Amino acid sequence: MTFKRSSSLFLLLVALVTGVVVMSAVAFSAMARGGWDIGWGMGGGHMMGGGANTSNAPVSVGNSTESVAIRDFAFTPGNLQVPVGAKVTWTNYDAAPHDATAKDGSWGTGIFSKGESKTLTFDKAGDYSYYCTVHPSMVARLQVR
């Protein structure tokens, strides 16, 4: 009788551990593809997949030193035009980590945390769609003229 109860508990434990391992593998796989919206803290932001596409916002024409705020999982301004040689600084105001990376891979800030800023200088004319690699639906546009 004791053997039967011990083996039942053992089988239950094996089933639970297997379930946890399988669910973890599925969750990490989905997150790696950016496919699940996973909540980020109590603020309602999103760790993966959340964010706003602000690339079609009205064009904000800037000068040789411009700033882009990353706030509430969006780039503001979302459609920025600067002259060749401009320095653009992105500042993260969210609790989640972010970055700004050209969709064509030609430039990127690297990931940075709340309160941090990253600055890039744009020496060539171009029209860049960019996004946050951590939150791929965060999309914006930078026009260098």
pLDDT given for residue 5 in this prediction: 58
> Is residue 127 domain-shared with residue 58, that is, in the same domain?
yes
Assess whether 28 and 50 both reside in one domain.
Answer: no
My answer on whether 79 and 21 are in the same domain is no
> Considering the entire predicted model, what is its pTM?
0.68
Nearest to 131 by CA among 18, 51, 13: 51
- pLDDT recorded at residue 47: 46
21/62 same-domain check: no
Q: Is 38 inside a domain boundary? A: no
What's the pLDDT at 21?
Answer: 55
User: In which domain, by residue range, is 21 found?
Assistant: 2-33
Residues 136 and 84 in one domain: yes
d(C-alpha 15, C-alpha 3), whole Å: 18
Residues 92, 119 within the same domain: yes
| 40 found inside a domain | no
Tell me which residue of 79, 76, 57, 58 sits closest to 67, measured CA to CA. Answer: 76
- pLDDT value at residue 39: 40
Residue in the block written with tokens 């989905």: 30
7 in a structural domain: yes
Residues 6 or more apart from 11 whose CB is under 8 A from it?
none
Q: Assess whether 84 and 138 both reside in one domain.
A: yes
pLDDT for res 50: 75
Asked if the structure places residue 21 within a domain, the reply is: yes
User: How many domains are contained in the chain?
Assistant: 2
Is residue 39 domain-resident? no
**Chain center to CA of 86:** 24
26, 33 Cβ separation under 8 angstroms:
no
Output the domain CATH number for residue 131. Answer: 2.60.40.420
- Within this chain, do residues 24 and 93 fall inside the same structural domain, yes or no? no
65 and 114 share one domain? yes
127, two tokens: 């029209």
Tens digit of pLDDT at every position of the chain (145 positions): 455 556 777 766 566 666 555 555 444 444 444 443 344 433 344 444 579 999 999 999 999 999 999 999 999 999 999 999 999 999 999 999 999 999 999 999 999 999 999 999 999 999 999 999 999 999 999 999 9
